[in-house]
Amino acid sequence: MAKTEVALKEAMTSIEGALGVALVDYTSGMALGTVGGGKDLDLNVAAAGNTDVVRAKVRTMEHLGLKDEIEDILITLGTQYHLIRLLKSRNTGTGLFLYLALDSSQANLAMARHQLKKIEGDLDV
């Protein structure tokens, strides 16, 4: 099982086109760890904002009576993909998600999803 920092570094190095990655607690909106980002991609701001996206989708599913789980949420921008992968902490049951920003001109979205799923499986939180 990989610790948070190791898992996030693996995402940045193994996923082509990765611009930044964060592990986020969607009950609080706080990033528990970040790697990458920069002046044009503040991962702490992205963590808080994408928490609202996750909460809205969960609430909508409840209103619709959908008895299913979210795997990922994909947001496509002109030059970037933003991938949100929900997971559950094995120890606490706290709602967590991995947030990954990709340069769309360099990324292979299917491979990024596959690699993020693998990293999720190895993550020990």
Domain CATH code at residue 39: 3.30.450
- Is 23 inside a domain boundary? yes
**Token duo for residue 21:** 């990655």
Strands across the sheet with 30-36, in order?
30-36, 18-25, 95-103, 80-88, 72-76
**74: in domain:** yes
pLDDT for the residue numbered 91: 52
The mean per-residue pLDDT over the stretch 19-40 comes to: 93
Query: What are residue 33's phi and psi, to 5 degrees?
Result: -170, 145
- pLDDT for 89 equals 53
As a whole number of Å, the end-to-end CA separation of the chain is 9
pLDDT tens digits for range 89-115: 555 456 899 999 999 999 999 999 999
User: Number of folded domains in the chain?
Assistant: 1
81: in domain: yes
- pLDDT at residue 88 is higher than 70: no
Q: pLDDT digits over 32-86, tens only?
A: 999 999 889 999 999 999 999 999 999 999 999 999 889 999 999 999 999 999 9
Q: Which residue range is the domain that position 79 belongs to?
A: 4-93+108-117
For 91-108, give the DSSP string.
TT--EEEEEEEEETTT--
Output the pLDDT for position 93: 54
Residue 100 lies in a domain: no
Sign of CA pseudo-dihedral 43, 12, 6, 84: positive
**Would you say residue 99 lies in a domain?**
no
Domain-embedded: residue 102 = no
Does a structural domain hold residue 64?
A: yes
20 occurs within a structural domain: yes
Please state the pTM of the whole predicted model. Answer: 0.91
- pLDDT over 80 (residue 29): yes
Distance of CA 42 to the CA centre of its chain: 14
Which two tokens mark 55?
A: 């909460």
